[in-house]
Amino acid sequence: MRAQKSTLRVIIHLMKNNYCTIYLIRHGRTDWNDKKLIQGHLNIPLNSEGKTTAKELAQELKKINFDKVYSSDLLRAKQTAEIIALEQELVVEITQALRERNFGSFQGKPREHLKEIDKVLETLTDEERYSYTHNGIVESDEEIMTRFMIFIREIAIVNLGKTILVATHGGIIRAFLIHLGILDYTGIKGRLEIKNLAFVKFESDGVDFVIKETSGIEKKTRE
């Protein structure tokens, strides 16, 4: 009987180690969020509100023992990751793979300028929309998911049985949920709001992805 219980405990332990648990989080607030300016690859820092709320989230996540922390190399995401990592005395590893979409010449302009792109997207099928890059200067969902998925699969495989924090951007999270089939373009035709410090908790073995929890992600109708 003791041998059977011991074997059962080993099996349960192995099953738990089959997946990496990942918290995919959007960065805190910036002045450009407040001004509704397109940030893209521009290196915009957190504002005072962003730093304060990131510290609050760090306290909320304190009970979770993260093994590693990864971040986009853009300052707003890196600062967010560092605030949370500081609470657990972890080093933040940065990568360009987690960067926001490159908006090209639209970067630094009011978000209203993206209506030009929205008009084109509304004429496309879901397949066309996924690979659409506006005038060759705006990264498509396909392009940002190519770099993101390569990275996320790799860290899942090398961190099986561990819990990881990944700080990134709203565009990445939105495209990721579409890529997995959790959302579709028709379903978010109005507007999908991914709030600052929103996160998606999921499990992965590098092949499969299972969403366990979301926070700060809401569907809104157009204003």
- For the chain, which domains are there? 20-220 (3.40.50.1240)
CB of 167 within 8 A of CB of 82? Answer: no
Cα radius of gyration rounded to whole Å, the chain = 19
Q: How far is the CA of 43 from the CAs of 26, 61, 77, 113, in angstroms?
A: 15, 26, 10, 20
Rounded to an integer, what distance in angstroms lies between the CA atom of residue 14 and that of residue 122? 47
The verdict on whether 100 is a catalytic residue reads yes
- Can you give the pLDDT at residue 195? 96
- Can you give the pLDDT at residue 13? 45
pTM beyond cutoff 0.85: yes
- Can you give the pLDDT at residue 223? 46
For 148-177, how does the pLDDT look when each residue is reduced to its tens digit (9 = 90+)? 999 999 999 999 999 999 999 999 999 999
- Can you give the pLDDT at residue 110? 97
Rounded to an integer, what distance in angstroms lies between the CA atom of residue 173 and that of residue 171? 6
- Can you give the pLDDT at residue 14? 45
Catalytic one among 27, 82, 139, 169?
Answer: 27
For 86-106, how does the pLDDT look when each residue is reduced to its tens digit (9 = 90+)? 989 999 999 999 999 999 999
- Can you give the pLDDT at residue 12? 47
Catalytic one among 41, 87, 100, 203?
Answer: 100
- Can you give the pLDDT at residue 221? 53
- Can you give the pLDDT at residue 220? 66
Long-range contacts of 214-223 (CB under 8 A, 24+ apart): 216/26, 217/173, 217/177, 217/192, 217/193, 218/192, 218/193, 219/187, 219/188, 219/190, 219/191, 219/192, 219/193, 220/190, 220/191, 220/192, 220/193, 221/190, 221/191, 222/190, 222/191
Q: Please report, in tens digits, the pLDDT of each residue of the chain (223 residues total).
A: 555 545 555 444 444 568 999 999 999 999 999 999 999 999 999 999 999 999 999 999 999 999 999 999 999 999 999 999 998 999 999 999 999 999 999 999 999 999 989 899 989 999 999 999 998 899 999 999 999 999 999 999 999 999 999 999 999 999 999 999 988 887 665 578 899 999 999 999 999 999 999 999 987 655 4
The verdict on whether 27 is a catalytic residue reads yes
